Amino acid sequence: MSEPVLDPAAFAHLLEITGDDLEFVDELVDTYLEDAVSQLEMMRSAADAGDAGAIVRPAHSLKSKRANVGASDLAEACRSLEAAGRTGVVPDPAERVSACDRLFADA
């Protein structure tokens, strides 16, 4: 049996901090999903251009927001990509961004 893509504890925390307001949690998740698409597009453009520095900001943003909604695998992939971008060298950037795309699609 596979592990859940979203961390149940993170989802429970979202419910707690919103006063169990499922409608608000739904809005937060919808906003995250819309923003994630944009962040992934920026990461792909940076990877295609070979611009390691341009990967940092969208990877950081996606990492932080993804951790908030409880998708830890994608958050970790973005953390690793962000760290590599900060060094100025991202090995296999297109493959790593594609991995983030797949993790996002799975969530």
Mean pLDDT (10-residue bins), the chain, 107 residues? 62 89 88 90 96 96 78 88 95 95 86
Which pLDDT belongs to residue 30? 85
Which pLDDT belongs to residue 1? 42
The CA-based dihedral angle spanning residues 60, 14, 103, 96, taken in that order and rounded to the nearest 10 degrees: 10
**Which residues in 56-83 are b (16+ Cβ under 10 Å) and which e?**
bebbbbbbebbbbbbbbbbbebbbbbbe
Which pLDDT belongs to residue 31? 86
Instruction: Give the integer Cα–Cα distance in Å for 95 and 84.
Output: 13
Nearest to 70, CA basis, from 3, 2, 11: 11
Give the number of other Cβ atoms within 10 Å of residue 49's Cβ. Answer: 11
Which pLDDT belongs to residue 9? 82
